Chain A
């Protein structure tokens, strides 16, 4: 390219192009995270995840149940595309988790303390809602 008015040269435009390219590249990880941040519901015992389903996938399917072995015997969760997730069967004597209704919002959790198992909804990018619940 012809040097324009003695102020800008070919190399300068290359640098400008490089800056632009790098700027765009710096957004790629963020885009990837956003893609991954679609949200999911998962069941875990201690640090081991036992089951996970993406919210988008859950919402397109039918109601289903899934049972897991826990420290207090079998526990059964119901996954409902309209209502959310709840416990419909527990082996522990108190069954407090069964008194909870559906969880269907990010950061909500159903915990079976005796069984040391929980279900939670995880959706990164939902800041602005509650950070935690004191219970």
Chain B
């Protein structure tokens, strides 16, 4: 069929440029008198010379352009440790050098957020360290974006998500290093220094104030998502970038459509097989995904696992779930909801999602069931080899 078509094309004696439109795309047949009986090579000889020259004229730049495009669309990557995790950005751009520069700028943007939110950082750099350092002393003026993040959390109605758990986190970090559990007394002491109600904001001055000395804000459950979102937006706004993937330790945002037009495929970590997946999410451009789990940072005492995601009401690691993955259009929200869903009973999270259609989730409950929210029906492909029991809502 192909050969026949070639013969058909090259044997036409009346191939010409439509002079009313000089665009090469308007190269058309207007008449084919008869198909030549000559072979392909023979037919080629009948091609009018001006056509050949025109073809050469247009094909040469096209060949160079094609080669240049292929070269320019190569993927570039960069990896950096920050925010207690590893951050990787993959981007495909029109110009490889520019793509590399844009990736570095996106990483610098993320590092800036990391520095400003690092509660162990120097007060000259970290706004959160400044707020914590002035706890019980004076309100601290912060930048608009930091104020927005804190204000967002305070405006949410879920007490399970608390950014004032700094003293508790410090206590558990010490316990992890010493491989012991916290005593009741020290746990209660740390819990007295927590509570969103003791965090006050002044919108006019954009100040943040912790009411008691020793209190501290911990944005660990939000900063990565925030940084990933900002990096994703930065990459999306660059005209050189075709597509990109920002991965901040599993907090992921995809930008643009892949060159082969296929969906982005993101595996969800199997919480009990660190080399396995629960399944694969098919993400569309602009979507984000984040996972919180009990396997990321933990220690064991007497065979029990103690991880880093704490329940404010008890001060102990939450046992309601094993992992929670949230899918949204915004990496900051994905980070927030993955932590929140990890802390809530699965039924409550799934019920909440019915009222928030822009958020979907895959939750591995402590009942060993993988709950898949209704909106992921066509976007999540479960791992058939997995031993988990799946339940599609």
Chain A: residues with CB nearer than 8 A to chain B? 4-5, 7-9, 12, 15-16, 18-19, 22-23, 26, 29-30, 33, 44, 46-47, 93-94, 96, 99-103, 108-109, 111, 113, 116, 118, 124, 127-135
Closest-by-CB residue of B relative to A111 is B86
Among candidates B63, B79, B251, B254, residue contacting A22 with C-beta atoms closer than 8 Å: B63
- Given A8-B52, A101-B275: A134 touches B86 (CB 8 Å cut-off): no
- Does the CB pair B47–A7 fall under 8 Å? yes
Q: Cα distance A9–B47 when bound, in Å?
A: 11
Say whether B34 faces chain A, with CB atoms less than 8 Å apart. Answer: no
Can you sample 7 A-B contacts with CB below 8 Å? A15-B56, A16-B56, A19-B56, A19-B59, A101-B273, A118-B79, A135-B296
Number of B residues with CB within 8 Å of any CB on chain A: 62
Residues in B42-96 with C-beta less than 8 Å from chain A: 44-49, 52-53, 56, 59-60, 63-64, 66-67, 70-71, 74-75, 78-81, 84-86, 88, 90
Which of these, B74, B274, B280, contacts A130 with CB under 8 Å? B280
Taking a contact as CB atoms under 8 Å apart, the answer to whether B176 and A93 are in contact is yes
Number of CB contacts from chain A to chain B under 8 A: 122
Q: B268 interface residue, CB < 8 Å from A?
A: yes
Contact of A101 with B49 in the complex, beta carbons under 8 Å: no
Contact B267 A132 (CB under 8 A): yes
15 A-B pairs besides A22-B63, A130-B280 with CB distance below 8 A are A5-B45, A16-B52, A19-B60, A29-B67, A44-B79, A47-B79, A100-B274, A102-B275, A113-B84, A127-B260, A130-B277, A131-B245, A134-B269, A135-B293, A135-B296
Q: Does B264 contact A (CB under 8 A)?
A: yes
Closest Cβ of chain A to B92, distance in Å, is: 10
Residues of B within 8 A of A134 (CB): 250-252, 266-269, 281, 289-291, 325
A127 to B67, CA, bound (A): 20
Contact A30 B70 (CB under 8 A): yes
Contact present for A8 and B47 (CB under 8 Å)? yes
Given contacts A7-B47, A19-B63, A135-B249, contact A103 B275 (CB under 8 A): yes
**In chain B, what residue has the closest Cβ to A44?**
B79
